Chains A and B, each alone.
Chain A
Amino acid sequence: MDGIQTPLDKKDIWSDAGTTRVPYQIYQNPEIYAEELEHIFYGSSWNYVGLECEVPESGDYRRNFIGEREILMIRKNDGSISVVENRCAHRGAQLCQGLFGNTGAALMCPYHQWTYTLDGELTGMPFKRGIKGKGGLNSDFDMKTRGLTNLKVEILNGVVFASFDHDVVPLEEYLGPDMMQYFTRIFDGRGLRVVGYERQIIDCNWKLQMENLKDPYHAGILHLFLISFGLFRLDQESKCLVDDNKGHSVLMTIKDSEEGNEDTGGVRIAAPDFTLTDHDLIQPLLEFGDRISLSIQTLFPSLIIQAQCNTLATRHVLPKGPGSHELVWTFFGFEDDDDAMNDRRLRQANLMGSAGYVTLDDAEALEFSQLGLAGSPEDEVAVLEIGGKDCESNDHLVTESLIRGFYMRYRDVMGHGKAIT
Chain B
Amino acid sequence: MDQTEAAQPVTDESILRRIERLQLDYISSIDDGPLDNWPQFFTEKCLYTVVSRDNHSRGMELGVMRFESVGMLIDRATATQHAAVFAPRIIRHVLGPMIVDETGEGYRSRCNVVIYQTSPDGDTMLLMAAQYNDIIVELDGVLKFKEKRVVYDTHRIPDSIVYPL
Nearest B-chain residue to A348, judged by Cβ: B66
Q: List 8 A-B contacts (CB under 8 A).
A: A196-B63, A199-B52, A224-B84, A274-B82, A281-B67, A350-B66, A350-B67, A354-B161
Does B105 lie at the interface of the complex (its beta carbon under 8 Å from any beta carbon of A)?
no
Interface residues of A in 99-156 (CB under 8 A from B): 99-100
Q: Which of B52, B69, B85 contacts A361 (CB 8 A)?
A: B85
Contact B85 A200 (CB under 8 A): no
Contact B159 A99 (CB under 8 A): no
**B interface residues, how many (CB within 8 angstroms):** 37
Interface residues of B in 101-122 (CB under 8 A from A): none
Contact B60 A225 (CB under 8 A): no
Task: Using known A-B contacts A195-B60, A196-B61, A197-B55, determine if residue A326 contacts B85 with beta carbons closer than 8 Å.
Answer: no
What CA separation (Å) do A202 and B160 show in the bound complex?
8
Does A8 lie at the interface of the complex (its beta carbon under 8 Å from any beta carbon of B)?
no
Contact A364 B62 (CB under 8 A): no
Q: Which of B66, B67, B72, B86 contacts A360 (CB 8 A)?
A: B86
What CA separation (Å) do A349 and B63 show in the bound complex?
8
Number of A-B residue pairs, CB cutoff 8 Å, is: 126
Nearest B-chain residue to A198, judged by Cβ: B64
Does B54 lie at the interface of the complex (its beta carbon under 8 Å from any beta carbon of A)?
yes
Q: Which residues of the other chain, A, contact B84 by a CB distance below 8 angstroms?
A: 224-225, 357, 360-361
What CA separation (Å) do A277 and B159 show in the bound complex?
28
What CA separation (Å) do A195 and B51 show in the bound complex?
12
Seed contacts A199-B52, A224-B85, A363-B159; 11 additional CB < 8 Å A-B pairs:
A197-B54, A199-B157, A200-B156, A227-B83, A274-B79, A278-B68, A281-B67, A349-B62, A361-B84, A364-B85, A367-B159
Contact A354 B83 (CB under 8 A): no
Contact B160 A274 (CB under 8 A): no
Contact A355 B162 (CB under 8 A): yes
Q: Which residues of the other chain, B, contact A349 by a CB distance below 8 angstroms?
A: 62-63, 66
What CA separation (Å) do A278 and B86 show in the bound complex?
24
Does B94 lie at the interface of the complex (its beta carbon under 8 Å from any beta carbon of A)?
no
Interface of B is mostly: mixed
Interface residues of B in 41-81 (CB under 8 A from A): 50-52, 54-55, 58, 60-69, 71-72, 74-76, 78-79
Contact A203 B161 (CB under 8 A): no
Does A267 lie at the interface of the complex (its beta carbon under 8 Å from any beta carbon of B)?
no
Say how far B97's CB is from chain A's closest CB, in angstroms.
27
Interface residues of A in 329-361 (CB under 8 A from B): 331, 346-347, 349-350, 353-357, 359-361
Nearest B-chain residue to A368, judged by Cβ: B87
Contact B85 A203 (CB under 8 A): no
Q: Which 5 A-B pairs have the closest CB atoms?
A: A196-B62, A278-B71, A277-B71, A355-B161, A196-B60
Q: Which residues of the other chain, B, contact A364 by a CB distance below 8 angstroms?
A: 85-87, 159-160
What CA separation (Å) do A225 and B86 show in the bound complex?
13
Q: Which residues of the other chain, A, contact B63 by a CB distance below 8 angstroms?
A: 196, 346, 349
Does B21 lie at the interface of the complex (its beta carbon under 8 Å from any beta carbon of A)?
no
Contact B64 A354 (CB under 8 A): yes
Does B18 lie at the interface of the complex (its beta carbon under 8 Å from any beta carbon of A)?
no
Question: What 0/1 readout, one digit per residue, does chain A (196-225) give for beta carbons within 8 Å of chain B?
Answer: 111111110000000000000000001011
Contact A346 B66 (CB under 8 A): yes
What CA separation (Å) do A281 and B62 show in the bound complex?
14
Q: Which of A99, A274, A347, A353 contacts B83 (CB 8 A)?
A: A274
Contact A276 B85 (CB under 8 A): no
Nearest B-chain residue to A196, judged by Cβ: B62
Contact B69 A354 (CB under 8 A): no
Contact A197 B66 (CB under 8 A): no
Q: Which residues of the other chain, B, contact A354 by a CB distance below 8 angstroms?
A: 64, 157, 159-161
Q: Which residues of the other chain, A, contact B71 by a CB distance below 8 angstroms?
A: 276-278
Best-buried of B51, B58, B62, B85 by chain A (most CB within 10 Å): B62
Say how far A111's CB is from chain B's closest CB, in angstroms.
25
Contact A202 B159 (CB under 8 A): yes
Contact A280 B69 (CB under 8 A): yes
Q: Which of A198, A280, A357, A363 contacts B68 (CB 8 A)?
A: A280
